Amino acid sequence: MFKKQFFPESTIKSLATNKTVFNRGQALYDDGAVKNLGVDEEDRTIVFHVKGKADHYKTQISFLKNGVARKYHCTCPAFQQYSGACKHVVCSMLHLNNIKKDELTKDEKSQKSAPKQTASSRSSAVLKDLKQIAQTSSVHHLSIINKERVNFEFVLNANITSFNKQFEFYLRVGIDHLYVIKNIPYIIGQLLDGKAHEFGKQFAYTPSDFYITDEDREVLEMIYTIYNMTRSLTQSGYEISYTNKNQIEIPELYVPQLLEKMQATEGGFIRFDRPPSSITSVSNLEDIQFDYGTEDFPLSCSLSKQGTRFYFSLEGYDPRDAMLRFYDQAHMIELDHHFYTFDQQHYTLMKKVIELFKDNQYNAIALRNVDLTEFLSEVYPVIQSVLDVKMDSDVEKLTFKEDIQPELYLDYEKDTLLIEPVFKYGALTVHPLSDTDDSNQTEKIMVRAVETEAKLLRYLQQFIQVSTVVESKWEISGVQEISYIIYNGVPEFAEIFDIYMSNSAKHLRYRRKNNRPISIDVNPDSNLLEISFNLEDITEDELPAIIRQLSQTNKQFHKLSSGSILNLQSEEFQELKKATSRLDLKADDIKGNMQVPLYKGLSLLEDANIEKSEQFIQMTKSLLEPKEQNFTIPKGIQTELRPYQEIGFKWLKALDAYQFGGVLADDMGLGKTLQIITFILSKYHEKGGKYLIVCPSSVLYNWQYEFKKFAPSLDPEIITGNIEERQELIAQMKKANDGIWITSYPLIQRDGELYGDIHFETAVLDESQNVKNASAKTTKAVHRVHATNKFALSGTPIENNLDELWTLFSIVQPGLFADKSSFKQLETDEISARIKPFVLRRLKGQVLDDLPEKTETTEYIELESEQKRLYQAQLKVIRNEVQELLDQESFESNSIRVLAGMTRLRQICCHPSLVTDDYDGDSAKLERLMEYLQEAKENGKRVVLFSQFTKMLDIIKQKLNKIDMDYHYLDGQTKKEDRLELTARFNEGEKDLFLISLKAGGTGINLTGGDTVILYDSWWNPAIEDQAADRVHRFGQKNAVQVLRLISRGTIEERINELQEKKRELIDSVIETGENKQISSLSKEEILRLLDFE
């Protein structure tokens, strides 16, 4: 009997996985759960039988010659899954300490006592085992046919800082609905072991019904390998298996390899800088090293002939010199203290082959001559996929080996697509779906690339998922399934297979000779656009159905009466979809030749897929390139227009020539008023007629002043006064043949019916954002005004959302967009393309080289202590109210209440006395304002100060009066006539400070006498603030302009400032760039974010 060591209790405890495992092993020993099974003297190994709760397990403890324990093993799952000795090994060690040598018996199953077999019977038995291994190998090529694919989402979260890099792996699994995996190691183990698992009500995985793609399987195997390696090679391995099961930490060393494998899948994603709430780090991960795959594995096999027999041998391993150990869960083999990791298929196959040699004492396996054919045709190709098998020259002479050449044959008959894969090996052919070949045509033994065949079939199966196998062909019926293969599959197949298609199969793919499916021309008699569809093999009757399917995003293919199939997602049909969408053509109205209003086609000039007549091109260019048009500035205009203003005038004239309306959306301060006055003067000289200007009440007299200044020959009449006076003025207007009238939005709302039977040559809507609400009475009144065309003037045609744009164009160019619901379905780039000919927008920075610089700064101010206390208390009240509304799902119906609460927060930032009358503390912002105004006065600055709260302006006035600082003041109560006088006096140098309420003075006035703008409080909409600042920074300004925003730090004002930056993108995305950005008005999500509900 060999020597064996005694195991002190302290040693057993250190070897045990943890203290709990040791205690459980102690309990098993106390219960007498262990029995001696036997001894292997040669291997110096003692075998025990331990009875667990549900099963019996075999443990082994091996010793070196000096009696020191060399290794231990157990067949229980815990030993495979966790590092350290399991409870069964602990029990065996305790038992071993208390038995004597003579109580141990030799293993009755030892190879030395086994009856001898004849060489012939042993050869037959081994060959039978090898064939069984080959036949049950999971690379068998028919294993996934008629199974549904499992979908995976792999997410690698990268949390990277300047001092640390951390990577975590997350997993979701399912078919249509993907389930978040909360125990990744366990689920991967189940999937790789081919075990069924119920993920939820919508998905229960069974290997017989579902399959995992090779690419997905490689990711799962690598993750599982990394998990088991890190767990077994770190001290905290056992604990890790019980924590963070929803994530696997990935050593940086393996991230590139993992990303490469994830890239090959359809569900691989990487996420940056969003770490989970808790991460348990694993120490020493960077020390883990392993080899992946069979390339560097040192073992190989050989097949040689000696006399009349053939011998199959394992090369590169001597059990006397090196230790060989298998890790089933990790699919890893340890050979001479080096770890080699494989995918599950290769690992399982390799283990079976090596264990077969082990059972044969690692001796060569003898094969009879009659066994060689079966071995080379069935066993060799499978083993060759995991272990290099070298043949000597005598064996090579007996084999037929050629490179595989995959071919694919496609035919179409009786509404069914037939696909036959064929594998050619030189002159020999394999039909894999019927598992037949013509190897009988050669006397040699045919060697097939079985694994390559399996991979090729799995590749095809990704595209051919709904089919039946008849003889050697897949049969596919159903238009969508056939179409997908013809358009998506065949181009991919051609990269790997030689493709052979019958004429009937080729005919399935629609090929158009004419590159332009639509042609358009202008009918000079009717001013309509004539449209012709030029689609070969598509009848006029089929057009409506095609257009209808194009509008349905889930429809990809359409079968024609001719049998050809259209790919509706192809570029040519997507361009057709875009063109019909821009033309607002409905499917039921489509004809081979038809007419639409001219303005609907203007956005198609740059569409290369449409055949356009020269007349249409010239007409469209006149609108898009007005600079080249031959319109002269009218005599009588009392100023010289700047080049960009002259272009604006020509653009208005070009639109008017076709009776189109439009939006002059130049930046504030660029002279929109001058451009429209020049246009009216020109048209008035040409044809007379009546003209109407509708503007805010605050600028009624400003318009009259501008006409007198720039076009004194025109004498516009202002419609104002009481109802009787206005009725008299409008009655005179009806009698007149021509003239110009100016009224306000509030008055046209009241007088709308009086304008019912008056026709105007042109109506102008100044500051057209006043008609942004489609349901407002003012908007409806403007709609009812009869005019040949209508022009809108606005530096901010969109203030909050795209609905405002729809409302505006329903006035200035009715019909450009269909109903509002259809408009909401359009992408912003589509909207931008349609309105492009009808919108002219220039920014000051683009056209005014001599305009002084505008500098914008934000100053953050800490609240006073008492002010901060009041703010926090109010914030808490509002947050509690909002939370209650959210819980009751009544937020939307109470949004006004929430906004009122937010206004109180903003008022506290300005001055708490705006909210509570008994407040006698200070306001940090007010104190900073007074300091700044004093500094500005000392430095000769002239300040225009805006606040949206008139009560706040009253507080500021009180402060200014105390220090004798003079100022002008304007709010909503200031008379219209006084506005012009006040602004003129300020611009002429009277007083250096102007206090203005944001709503009353944000538009329609010129304050170029100032050089500093202070925005005391923040507003949700940045356009309102920009308008206010541009009262100072505009045409005529001689000095650099400073714009200062005062923001209370850590408050709702700071959040509003962030929100403004996002909202500024809206005008740019639609009016200028057409990029697909969608910013809405103050939404529920934005309100919650402003109140710190993340």
Going by C-alpha positions, the residue among 944, 932, 953 that lies closest to residue 991 is 944
Q: Looking at 199-208, 292-301, 817-826, which range is the least confident one?
A: 292-301
747 neighbors 694 (Cβ within 8 angstroms): no
Tell me which amino acid residue 974 is: T
Residue 1056 has pLDDT above 90, yes or no: no
Alpha carbons 95 and 758: distance in angstroms, whole number? 112
Q: Which residue has 């399912």 as its token pair?
A: 174
The pLDDT value recorded for residue 600 is 78
Residues 658-684 have a mean pLDDT of 92
Query: For 680-707, how does the pLDDT look when each residue is reduced to its tens digit (9 = 90+)?
Result: 999 999 999 999 999 988 788 889 989 9
Residue 279, pLDDT > 70, answer no
CB-neighbour burial class of residue 419 (10 A; exposed 0-12, middle 13-18, buried 19+) = buried
pLDDT in tens, 295-312: 678 899 999 998 888 999
Mean pLDDT to the nearest integer, 32-51: 83
Going by their DSSP bridges, the two strands 148-149 and 151-160 should be labelled as unpaired
Burial of 119 (0-12, 13-18, 19+ CB in 10 A): exposed
Whether residue 131 is predicted with pLDDT greater than 70 in this model: the reply is no
Does 115 score more than 90 pLDDT? no
Query: What secondary structure does DSSP assign to 879-909, as a single string?
Result: HHHHHHHHHTT-TGGGHHHHHHHHHHHHHHH
- Residue 567 has φ and ψ, to the nearest 5°, of -95, 100
Reported confidence tier of residue 294, pLDDT bands at 50, 70, 90: low
Opening angle at CA 671, ends 670 and 677, nearest 5: 160
Q: Is 70 exceeded by the pLDDT of residue 367?
A: yes
Q: What is the DSSP letter of 282?
A: -
What would the two tokens of residue 373 be? Answer: 């054919």
Amino acid at 611: E
Distance between CA atoms of 350 and 754, rounded to whole angstroms? 95
652 pLDDT above the threshold of 60: yes
| Confidence at 1076, pLDDT banded by 50, 70, 90 | very low
Report which DSSP code applies to 78.
H
Structure tokens at 36: 């001696």
Look at the block and give the residue holding tokens 């092993």.
25
Q: What is the pLDDT of residues 931-974, one digit of tens each?
A: 999 989 988 999 999 999 999 999 999 999 999 999 999 998 88
Pair 418, 408: CB distance under 8 Å: no
> How many whole angstroms separate alpha carbon 793 and alpha carbon 585?
30
pLDDT of 409 > 90? The answer is yes
Angle separating helix axes 614-624 and 643-657, nearest 10 degrees: 140
Q: What is the DSSP letter of 495?
A: T
Q: Residue 1026's pLDDT band (boundaries 50, 70, 90)?
A: confident
Lowest mean pLDDT among 235-249, 289-303, 344-358: 235-249
Cα angle, residue 825 at apex, residues 819 and 830 outer, rounded to 5°: 95
